Amino acid sequence: MTSQAVDHVALLPLYAAAGTAILALLADLFAGKRAVTITATLLGALATGVTALAVGPWDATFCVPGGCSWVPSWPAAATAALFAGLTAGVLALSVPALRLGAAPAGEFCFLLACSMTGGVTVAYAGDLLTLIVGLETLTLPLYVLVGLRRFAPGERTTTDAASASVTFFLISVISTAIVLLGIALNYAATGAVHLGMLGPAPAPFAALAGVGAALLVIGLAFKVAAVPLHAWAPATYDGAPVPIAAYLSTASKLGGVLALAAVAARLDTSAVVAVLAVLTMTVGNLVALRQTRMVRLLAWSSMAQAGYILAALALGAPGVPAALAYAVFFMVLELIAFGVVVALRPVAADGGTLDDFRGAARRHPWPGAALVLALAGLAGLPPGLAGLFAKVSVVEALVAEGWIWLAAVVVVNAVIALAYYVRVGALLYTGPAEDTGRRPVSRPVAAVLVATTIVAVVLGFAPQLLLGAL
Amino acid sequence: MNNLLIALLVVPALGAVVVALLPDRRARLVSTGFAAVTFVLSVLPILVRPNEYTWFAYQPGDGPPMVPWAEIDLPWVPALGLEFHLGVDGISYPLIVLTGLLTLLCCAYNRKGRALAALLLVLEVGVLGTFLALDLILFFLFFEVVLLPMYAVIAGWGGPNRRAAARKFVLYTLAGSVLLLLGVLLVVTSAGTGDLVTLTGAAETGAAELSPETQRVAFVLLALAFAVKAPLWPLHTWLPDAHTEAPTVGSVLLAGVLLKMGTYGMIRVGVGAAPEGAAWASPALGVLAVVAIVAGALICLRQTELKRLIAYSSVGHMGFVLLGIATMSITGVQAALVGNVAHGLITGLLFFLAGTIKDRTGTGSLDLIGGLRETAPRLAGLLGFAAIASLGLPGLAGFWGEAFAVIAAVKRGGPFWLTLAAVAAVGGALTAAYFLRLLRRVTHGPATPAVAASSPAVTRIEWLAWTPLILLTLAVGVVPALVLNDTVVPLANLLGVKL
């Protein structure tokens, strides 16, 4: 056994991400000022994103004959940058709550940066074990973040966050165990853990490998909250602070999608993934129709959106670019939607009921318009052009591979989904426009909304920027 | 001249942004200004109409399968095979001008503030884009652009049941457009191109031709999508609610140009990309069209609400348009094109008048409106003119589309098409019956209290909005060549007919 050569340039994004986490910890320890810690983490996250894009595709490292564990390619760099961007966005969305002291800033920043480190690892992972380690690093801090909520004296305390955290923790642990079992069975059958070496097992072990692949997919399906493995998601999203719910719905889901894409591209998992896709989008959309709470509605809708991504992944390798493209477009739109919820609700409040948003766009025209853009995009309609292209790329991949029936399921679901998106959109413009409920939107939140909206509009008009990179 | 096509989309889009940012009191003037510029731009392509391809000099197979007067072709999203390919030819030109005109009139007529004015201009972008697009995915994209703005127009400024009507509209039409997405992508992935110039007449040039089975599946998907939009019986049920609840300008644009996206799409995309599929499905399409004509007329005979009646009359008129398309002959499709434009002019006018009557009297119920002639002779006269034009009196625009759709069906020959022609002609007679019933109830008899209490005068802005429609109804009625002049060669290409 020789030691593997390590190319440190290839690892720079990981160093930057891990460095950010340490920086957050040290800043909290030595400076002890909230603003310093938050700024340091924010800059660290942005630096991570820039580093990932600057390094770009590079020589793979941690190699053994047949495969490498760290593979810097353009899709990897783009998704790592996306993880960093989402982290920075979620941190900025949390600033008002942190200022209020709803969560301890140092711990919050450190945990979020750790989670980002996991995300970067997932993006570059070249073998199943690195992938699962990354995924766990991504998820582990979230158990704490979901429940990290301090109450001011006299404030009504709830245990929603704590119970959300426990639910999330239990389900995640079980799903990780299933994934590990899947990896083990697959390894037993094929002797491969590197993504590049995954493939059909020799004849006597084909059944074993099949079970392994199925378990792998099922375990990862927990992470993206695919039906029927979704029960944790609505409760967890709704109990968590809204910015963390945004992180769960974007970065955490992106980790699951990347892992699934890595597996689905190389192992024959079409049947399992297709079933999961159909169930996920249909159940997600139908249940979302009946939601009365904003974050729950977004949770079910984001579940349904994951179904569209799974539909593309059911194609195997040919569907991966479409699935990743959809995921990225969706993350941007979803971050806008959650950002607007943060902006329109009182600081550190939960997501509220749909009625709390009645007439909100009349009081806050700009955030209202941003939410309409995001909802239109999630529905796949102009003016949310990014969402339209996302949907077109998935449906085109399905039609091109001859899966017209699945494409038909996808588009029927798009119609169902529009029913609740227009309900929310119309609600924003109904009712009194009186100024009683008007609150100024805090600057970091506004900055996130402006930046993400610009990204969404640019991607809407120039989707080739993204589609070309994947 | 190529920049003109981009300007046609950019000017109203820019207008929408500017109007949305201005105070309400300036909105009408500014939006009308932008709409006027767009209208002028929409007329301009006539200047570059080529004269060398007259029908006797041109034989199919001689040149490229389709020669737009002006076109622009830029790559946009190569990964999806989407090109920003716009063009004008004899088929789309009349509809582009109609869109420019109706939007201008609606902007001038609109007194409900900047948001509605901005939405009207956004709608115009979507409709013009649909008529200009020569790339299938681009066509789909613009087809979708009108969806949410029209929803907002109905839900924001409509009548008492506007929410339900708007929701029904948006879900129905989205269901249609997702079928369009499937159809379009099926064609694009099977042919390897979404370029309508290449796809049209592919049978002759041999380029990118689709297999008959693919054509059938694609045409069924596309035809269903366009049948929702047009709307074709039995997929029309969203239309009456949407029209009844929509504000006047919404109804005018919906009937005047949005429905045309369905029939235009059927001709340009359905027949253009899958001609064999269209020929295979044409008997079914013909039957549905004739059922629509008769059903629309029968339903109209029982209507008691003014706008609802006009909405159902649209179902009948679109039936004639689709019958013309179903014959798959040059005469038939020409009838469809002229019927499209005539319906846009006449029904636009009818909805303006109905909206005005409804606004003045506060009701649309035929039981409560009566004797309009006694108190408001001018309004009654205009309504009479529009109704008579709509029922297809020779000399007015409505005549050509309906008469020639029937003639085309007769020409197609055989007992099947003769029966369709005969039933359609009976439907035409029923159309006359319900319009005369409408006139009898609304204009004749003693004035009802609602009518007596309403103001009789027609304001200057109303005259301004209606006069162009009246004049054009007369003009197209007398000289249908205004619409049909340059359609023979493109249609011969489209249908693969030797001249």
Q: Residues of chain B with pLDDT > 70: what percent?
A: 94
- The full set of domain ranges for chain A reads 12-469
From A39-53, B75-89, B173-187, B366-380, the region with the lowest mean pLDDT: B366-380
What is the mean pLDDT of the segment spanning B70-80? 84
Of A376, A399, A429, which is closest to B186 when you measure between CB atoms? A399
pLDDT of residue A421: 92
* Residue B52: pLDDT over 60: no
What sign results for the dihedral spanned by CA atoms A133, A135, A141, A146? negative
pLDDT of residue A112: 94
What is the distance in angstroms between the Cα of B107 and the nearest Cα belonging to chain A?
21
CB contact under 8 A, B182 and A399: yes
Calpha distance A269→A210 (Å, rounded): 8
CB contact under 8 A, A396 and B80: yes
Owner of token pair 């910890």: A25
Task: Give CA angle at B288 (B308, B127), nearest 5°.
Answer: 60
Residue B499: which pLDDT band, with cuts at 50, 70 and 90?
low
pLDDT of residue B447: 78
What is the distance in angstroms between the Cα of B80 and the nearest Cα belonging to chain A?
7
What is the mean pLDDT of the segment spanning A401-410? 91
Q: Note if the bond before A383 is cis, omega within 30 degrees.
A: yes
CB contact under 8 A, A407 and B182: yes
Per-residue pLDDT tens over the stretch A235-256: 888 888 899 999 999 999 999 9
* Residue B55: pLDDT over 50: no
What is the distance in angstroms between the Cα of B149 and the nearest Cα belonging to chain A?
9
Q: How many residues does chain A have?
A: 470
ipTM: 0.90
Give me B252's structure tokens. Answer: 């005018």
Which residues of B fall within a CB distance of 8 Å from A395? 181-182, 185
* Residue B120: pLDDT over 80: yes
Chain B touched by A463 (CB under 8 Å): yes
Range of A147-156, A162-171, A329-338, B40-49 with top mean pLDDT: A329-338
Task: Give CA angle at A92 (A86, A98), nearest 5°.
Answer: 130
SS3 letters for A97-162? HHHHCCCCHHHHHHHHHHHHHHHHHHHHECEHHHHHHHHHHHHHHHHHHHHCCCCCCCCCCCCHHH
* Residue B382: pLDDT over 60: yes
CB contact under 8 A, A392 and B76: no
Of A393, A418, A468, which is closest to B171 when you measure between CB atoms? A418
Cβ-based neighbour number of residue A455 at 10 Å: 20
Per-residue pLDDT tens over the stretch A356-370: 888 888 888 888 999
Of A419, A422, A463, which is closest to B77 when you measure between CB atoms? A463
Calpha distance A251→B180 (Å, rounded): 33
Of A389, A422, A423, which is closest to B80 when you measure between CB atoms? A389
Which residues of A fall within a CB distance of 8 Å from B141? 382, 385, 388
Return all residues near B395 (Cβ < 8 A) that are at least 6 apart: B474, B477, B478
DSSP A155-193: SPP-SHHHHHHHHHHHHHHHHHHHHHHHHHHHHHHH---
Give me A351's structure tokens. Answer: 């997501």
Give the residue with greater pLDDT, B440 vs A50. A50
Per-residue pLDDT tens over the stretch A419-437: 899 989 888 888 766 555 5
Owner of token pair 């992106």: A254
Chain B touched by A177 (CB under 8 Å): no
pLDDT of residue B57: 46
What is the mean pLDDT of the segment spanning A31-35? 86
Best of A393, A418, A423, A461 to substitute, by most chain B Cβ atoms within 10 angstroms, is: A418
Return all residues near B84 (Cβ < 8 A) that are at least 6 apart: B72, B73, B74, B75, B76, B135, B138
Chain B touched by A289 (CB under 8 Å): no
What is the distance in angstroms between the Cα of B186 and the nearest Cα belonging to chain A?
6
* Residue B56: pLDDT over 50: no
* Residue B140: pLDDT over 80: yes
Work out how many CB contacts closer than 8 A connect A with B: 84
Calpha distance A377→A321 (Å, rounded): 19
* Nearest residue on chain A to B180, alpha-carbon basis: A411
From A32-41, A140-149, A343-352, the region with the lowest mean pLDDT: A343-352
pLDDT of residue A435: 54
Owner of token pair 């997932």: A122
pLDDT of residue A439: 73
CB contact under 8 A, A382 and B141: yes
CB contact under 8 A, B77 and A389: yes
Per-residue pLDDT tens over the stretch A68-111: 889 998 889 999 999 999 999 999 999 998 888 888 888 999 99
SS3 letters for chain B? CHHHHHHHHHHHHHHHHHHHHCCHHHHHHHHHHHHHHHHHHHHHHHHHCCCCCCCCCCCCCCCCCCCCCEEEEEEEEHHHCEEEEEEECCCCHHHHHHHHHHHHHHHHHCCCCHHHHHHHHHHHHHHHHHHHECEHHHHHHHHHHCHHHHHHHHHHHCCCCHHHHHHHHHHHHHHHHHHHHHHHHHHHHHHCCCEHHHHCCHHHHCCCCCCHHHHHHHHHHHHHHHHHHCCCCCCCCHHHHHHHHCCHHHHHHHHHHHHHHHHHHHHHHHHHHCHHHHHHHHHHHHHHHHHHHHHHHHHHHCCCEHHHHHHHHHHHHHHHHHHHHHCCCHHHHHHHHHHHHHHHHHHHHHHHHHHHHHHHHCCCECCCCCCHHHHCHHHHHHHHHHHHHHCCCCCCCHHHHHHHHHHHHHHHCHHHHHHHHHHHHHHHHHHHHHHHHHHHHHHCCCCCHHHHCCCCCCCHHHHHHHHHHHHHHHHHHHCCHHHHCCCHHHHHHHHCCCC
SS3 letters for B213-242? HHHHHHHHHHHHHHHHHCCCCCCCCHHHHH
* Residue B54: pLDDT over 60: no
pLDDT of residue A85: 94
pLDDT of residue A323: 92
Return all residues near B2 (Cβ < 8 A) that are at least 6 apart: B70, B71, B72
Which residues of B fall within a CB distance of 8 Å from A464? 76-79
Return all residues near B43 (Cβ < 8 A) that are at least 6 apart: B97, B100
pLDDT of residue A434: 59
Give me B55's structure tokens. Answer: 């029908």
Per-residue pLDDT tens over the stretch A267-311: 888 888 999 999 999 999 999 999 899 999 999 999 999 999 999
Chain B touched by A297 (CB under 8 Å): no
What is the distance in angstroms between the Cα of B11 and the nearest Cα belonging to chain A?
17
Chain A touched by B348 (CB under 8 Å): no
pLDDT of residue B66: 66
Of B79, B170, B188, which is closest to A422 when you measure between CB atoms? B170
